Structure 1
């Protein structure tokens, strides 16, 4: 897992997303990642919703967000309830949506100064 920090203005904004990946500021990412306004964790393991387990969401939870936006690829797909339960019981919000919606929502919440984590499953075929 690689970590990057220090964008030019101190925040990471999603510029675009599509079949070739997600562009954050000037960089294009083609692997799943965890994104916060001040931090990017690359090479996040799940490449499809079936790969997601509790450890992956615990990584997002460890960043102390108010809310986690789980982008599940081209379509909204819900992980097993047992995977989501610890996050929901912790009081952290968890929103499951397709990756495009997660990217748009991340930018809005980040712009409001919220402590948000976008957990984006990206699979390039």
Structure 2
């Protein structure tokens, strides 16, 4: 089996997560967070669509980690994001972290908004 080192270019990978925090680019970040090509920023949860709209430009998709379990996105949240031309994909936060890292390593244009487990 051939193993390759993953190169993330200028983007920041998610190194890990735990109760109430994420480890991103070697730094521990408490609470909800958004990671995009624009950088790492705190996120106010589903009522904070402005952060998502401000941080994303020309992206394929924004993964939304809904915590320990997958949950439906609030209708208002999804409607506002889609009206701004942003595709959002809900999944459990652990799955969102893994999916984000994989697509990021492939050079895809992705972002992730995460609620801690």
TM-score by length of 1: 0.74
Cα distance, 1:58 vs structure 2: 3.3
Cα distance in structure 1, aligned partners of 2:39 and 2:84:
22
Q: What is the RMSD computed on CA atoms of the aligned residues?
A: 1.9
Alignment partner, residue 94 of structure 1: 88
What are structure 1's unaligned runs of at least 5 residues?
Answer: 1-8, 47-51
8 Å Cα contact 1:71-1:96 kept in structure 2: yes
Alignment partner, residue 36 of structure 2: 36
What are structure 2's unaligned runs of at least 5 residues?
Answer: 1-8
8 Å Cα contact 1:71-1:118 kept in structure 2: yes
Residue 115 of structure 2 is aligned to residue 115 of structure 1: no
8 Å Cα contact 2:16-2:24 kept in structure 1: yes
Question: CA 1:88/1:38 → structure 2, altered by over 3 Å: closer, same or farther?
Answer: closer
Residue 47 of structure 2 is aligned to residue 45 of structure 1: no
Cα distance, 1:38 vs structure 2: 5.0
8 Å Cα contact 1:70-1:96 kept in structure 2: yes
Cα distance, 1:20 vs structure 2: 5.0
TM-score by length of 2: 0.78
8 Å Cα contact 2:18-2:116 kept in structure 1: no
Residue 13 of structure 2 is aligned to residue 19 of structure 1: no
Task: Figure out how many residues of one structure are paired with residues of the other and give that number.
Answer: 107
Question: CA 1:83/1:20 → structure 2, altered by over 3 Å: closer, same or farther?
Answer: closer
